[in-house]
Amino acid sequence: MIYLDHNATTALHPEVLKMMLPYLEAQYGNPAANHRFGRKARSAIEDAREQVALSVNAHPSQVIFTASGSEANNMIIQGIAKSSPNIHFGYSSIEHPCISRPIESLKSRGYSATKIPVNAAGEIQIKNLSAAELKKINFISCMAVNNETGVIQNLTEIVATAKDHNIQVHSDAVQALGKINVNFEDLGLDAMTISSHKIYGPQGIAALVMNKKIDLYPLIEGGGQERGLRSGTENLAAIVGFGKACERAHNNLVTYNDALKKIQLFLESELKKMGAIIFSEKVKRVANTTFFSIKGIDGVTLLTALDRLGYAIASGSACSSNNNEPSHVLLAMNIDEETAMSALRISLGIDTTLQNIKDFVAALKKETERLKQLTAMAA
């Protein structure tokens, strides 16, 4: 199998596994315990917290560990709502469902929210909101990099516009970490979500990075861990692995981008020769992500055919791949439903080679022609 779905999840890096193994094999201490075993566990967590904070230029005290990016996003949305019953949310029309669905659920319970549009290239257009709309909003969530198109959003503009109207800003940076420079302090964000399994760390661990200006009601109460904001015994081995993965991502950013950009350019050149539409082609995107459509070919059908040949790709977000609806991201970009239904996503990783992509393109051409012939026969 050739794995081309790294935006969904990445493989655990050997260096990360090496750091985790002692805590999987011979660690007994609960980090909350006061004996030697507990102190050792607590020390390992705080060391990892520093690694995570350093990778995004935050203070360690701002890092709250969670079990997933989805939990971190729900934590900030639900926690803000509980603390501020009169909150009015703003969120972009291309947010991941773990942002949009909690907000929509809150709307059904009487909370208010405003959806921020995007342009045809998938760039968030906060300046399209009127002064009256901005005046109502207290808290905005806008992703840093879109998980489907790979578009790098202009967070500097979003934050500046929000701050002019005294709006707090959260960004889901899960797809940004390890692909672009993510600087929590310089961006002026109030909160940010990052996740381990997108950067060759273990699954089941993520973080909400948050300044102390936000009044947040805990999503999980009980033991008082993570500053009382996320109770539950910490996943020690996973936290250690997350710290190492963040360190690697921070140190290898330039090398990662240089290698993948060359492969992405080749891939997209070949796709265009086949007549494919490459979404958001003309704007800034991360080097590993290509979202495309071949007219007249159902995306899920083509995905299944390629899977049988040994190529793992996606038809959009991994969290919504089991439904047969078109991408909400593409619909927000005013892409017609038929084109959206044929969309496929390739997301490269550190082990992806140019030969992998050459082989993939050959398989794609073959399967596309076969499916077109079948369609013609059926007609």
* 3-state SS assignment for residue 237: helix
Residues 345, 4: contact at Cβ < 8 Å?
no
The two structure tokens encoding residue 61: 């005290």
Residues 171, 144: contact at Cβ < 8 Å?
yes
Helix and strand element counts for the chain (H, E): 13, 12
**What letter represents residue 138's amino acid?**
N
Q: Which of 98, 142, 246, 319 is catalytic?
A: 319
CB within 8 A of 6, min separation 6: which ones? 198, 288, 347, 348, 349, 352
CA atoms within 13 A on the CB side of 86: 1
Task: Give the whole-angstrom CA distance, residue 175 versus residue 8.
Answer: 9
Query: Is 319 in the active site?
Result: yes
Give Cα 314 to chain centroid, integer Å.
15
Q: 110: burial class by Cβ within 10 Å (0-12, 13-18, 19+)? A: exposed
Helix (H) or strand (E) holding 172: strand 168-172
The two structure tokens encoding residue 20: 């985790």
Backbone angles phi, psi at 350, to 5 degrees: -65, -20
Q: Pick the closest to residue 180 from 124, 254, 247, 243 (CA basis).
A: 254
* 3-state SS assignment for residue 3: strand
Distances (CA, A) of 131 to 123, 126, 127, 145, 273: 20, 11, 9, 26, 45
Q: Point out the residues that are catalytic.
A: 319
